[in-house]
Structure 1
Amino acid sequence: MMIFDSAGAERFADFVSRRRAPLTAAGGLTGILIGIYSDEARGMIGWTWTHVVAGGTLVVLAAAGVFSAAWWGRGRLERRRELRREIVAKSFDIHADDFDDDLPSDHAVIGRELRYLERRTTSTHLVVLLHGLGLDANDFRSFMNVAPQHTAAITAFGHNTQEARDDSYRAIGLATHTDLVSGAINNLHRQYPHKKLTLVGFSVGADMLLRLAELWRDHPDRKPRVSSVMLLDPNINHSTMIITGSMAQLNPDEPLAELKRIANTPRSPVEFQNICEYLHKITEKDLRQVQRYAADLWDYWEPDGQYDLFFQRTQRLQAVCGTLRVFFSTHFEHHFNDVVAHARQRGIRQVFDLRRVDHFELCRETFLKREVTALIRRR
C-alpha cells in the first residue's frame, strides 16, 4: 500500500491536471472497446467452452464405442475358441480301398462308420487315444476336456452303444480291427499334417499299438509319421489277461449268466473293483463283438511266464515309432520286476515304469495330463 503525504497529493493532482486530455481519451477508448467487444468476447468464451465440452463428450463416446467393440469382438472370438475346444463326436466312412488285403466274407465293414471323439486346440501336438476291450472313446473324455494338446479318441468298430443292437455291425476279427484303426490314424494325420503325432493305448488299446507296429512293418507305406507312443497296462502274456481270458470264453447267448460268472473270477479286492467297473461299462455293448475281439487277443499272446513275444513287439514298436514309454498300474506290480530284468538283459532302459495307481486311473485326466505332457517334452 502507498501512503501519500500532503506534498505527494499535490504533485499527483498537478500531474492529472496537466495530462487530463490524454487520460480522458484513453479512458474513453477503453470504454468503447469494452462496449464493442464484450458480447463477442462472451460469445467466444461460450463457443470455446461448448466445443471443448462437446469434443470431450465425443472423445468419451468414441472411447466407449471402441471399448465396446473390442469387448464384443473378444467375446465372440472366445466363444469361437470354446466351440473349437468342445469335444465333438465324428466318424470316418469305411471304404473298400482302406484295405490292402481281401476281407473275410463275414467281416461286413464296408459302408459302415468308425466313430471317434475330437477336441481341437491350437497345440502343435495331436494325441490319438485307443481304449480297452469293450470300452469306447468316452473313457478319455475327462482327459480330453483338460488336455492342452489337440486330442482324438477312436472307438473300435462296433463298440458304441448305438451299434449294440445294429446287425450291420457284426463281430470282426483282430486283423480287420487293426486295418480300421490304422486307417483312422492316417486319416487324422492327413487332416493335420503339421502336427506331431503321439499315440496312447490303454489296456487292449496298448495291445492294438503293438499290433499296428506289425502292420506298418509289413506295409511301410501305410505308416504315419509318429513322434511318440505311450502304452498303459499292455498285456504281457496270459497271466495278465484275466478279464480278456474270461471274455474270450463268454457265451453271448447267455449274457447275464456269463457276466455273473466273470464277476466271480477276481482273486483280490482290487481285482474285484476293476471287474465291477469293467462289467458296468460293457453291459450295454455288443457282447458278441467283445467276445470275438477277446478271443483273437488271447490267441495273439503266449502262455504264462513267457516274455519273448512281448519284448519282440515292444522293440518293434519302438523301432517304427520313436520315443516309447510303458506304464503299469499296481495291478501289474507282481510282474514288473521280471519285466525290468528282461528289459535290461535286452539293453532296454528308460522305457518301463510303475505308478501307484489303479488300472482305470491310467486313462483319467490326472495321470494322463501329467504323463502325456512329460512324454512330449522328452522329444
Structure 2
Amino acid sequence: MEQETNTSPDSGHAADWHIPVLLEPILEHARRVCEQKSAPLLVDGTLGDGGHCLALLRALPGARYIGFDQDAHMLERAGRRLMAAGLAVRAPIRATDRIALPEPGGVQLVHGRFDSISTCLSVSNLAADWVLLDLGVSMFHFRSAGRGFSYTDEKLDMRLDFARNETAAQWLNSANQTEIERVIREYGEERFAGRIARRICENRPLESARQLADIVRRVYPPGQRLHPATRTFQAIRIHVNDEMSVLQKALDSIPDILAVNGALAVISFHSLEDRPVKQVFRKLAGPRQHRNKYGREEQESRSERRPFEILTPAPILPDAAECGRNPAARSAKLRILRRLIDNNNT
C-alpha cells in the first residue's frame, strides 16, 4: 500500500507515517469525479495509516469519509493521525453495523474487509461518490508489525485480522504437500513451488518467519536479485488472508453502490491483483449480452449507452520521481471505473 519512512511506528511523528502511492493522480481524478458534489461520500477500503484519506479531505474539504480496514491496529494508528490533523473522527464500528454519515470533513472508521463495503453501504442506504482500494500490505506490516511478514525471527502469523482463521504456521504445519505446492505456485507464481513445498514438509514444525525464509533460500541457487522467499511469502500471505476471494467479491459488488458519476479506483501491485481488476472493469464497461427471441446470446448495439466507463484505458503508473522517492511504488498500477447510469436505468 504505502512506503514507510521510519521504523518507529507508534511515536506519532510525521516521519513515522507512510507515503501514499500514486497520490497525485488519485487526487486529480477524485476532484473531477466529485467536482459537482458539495459533500461527496468517499469510501476507503484499505485505510492503512490514513495517508490517502488526509490528502483527499484536504483536496475536498466538504467530503464525508468512511474508512475500512480489517486490521484494528491500523484503524487505531489512522485515527490518532487524523485527529491530530484536526479532523472529526468517529470511533470504529463493525462492518455489520449501520453507518450514520459523518459530518462534512469528518471520518467514520469501520473495522472490516473491503468486500463488506457494498453490504455495509446498502443497509445504510448510502451510495458512494468515490471508492478507493489500495491493495496489498503496508510497509508497517513488513517492518514493524511482528507478524511474520518479514524474514526475521518473528512468529509466523501473517494474519491482518487476528480474529480470522488460522495462522500461517498452523496452516503450513497441517496442510499436505500438494496443497502447499498449489498455493505457492498459484499465488506466488513460484517456479520452485514443488521443491519448496517438499522442504517445508520435511522441516516441520515451522514456528518463525526466519525458518521459512531459510528453507526457501536453500532451494534457490545463489546470486538472486530478489530475496528467494519473496514469492513464497506473498503466496502464503494471500492464502491466509483469503485476499483473492476478497478482491473478487469486492469487484463484483462495489460498482452497484456507486452513485451516478461515482468512481471505483483500484491500486494493484502484481499481476494476480491487476488481472481481475482489468477483467471486471472491461466487462462492466463493454457491450452487454442479452438473449434474442431464439434464446441465443447477442451483444447489444455499440450505440447503446453503457452503465460504466473506464477512465484509465491504460493503467496509471508512478513516474520516475515517485519511484525515486518511494521504491515500493514501482510496481503500482491504478485503474478507475466510473458509473454513468443509475442502477434503475441499466
TM-score, length of structure 2 as denominator length: 0.33
CA radius of gyration, larger in = 1
* Larger proportion of strand: 2
Normalized against structure 1, the TM-score is what? Answer: 0.31
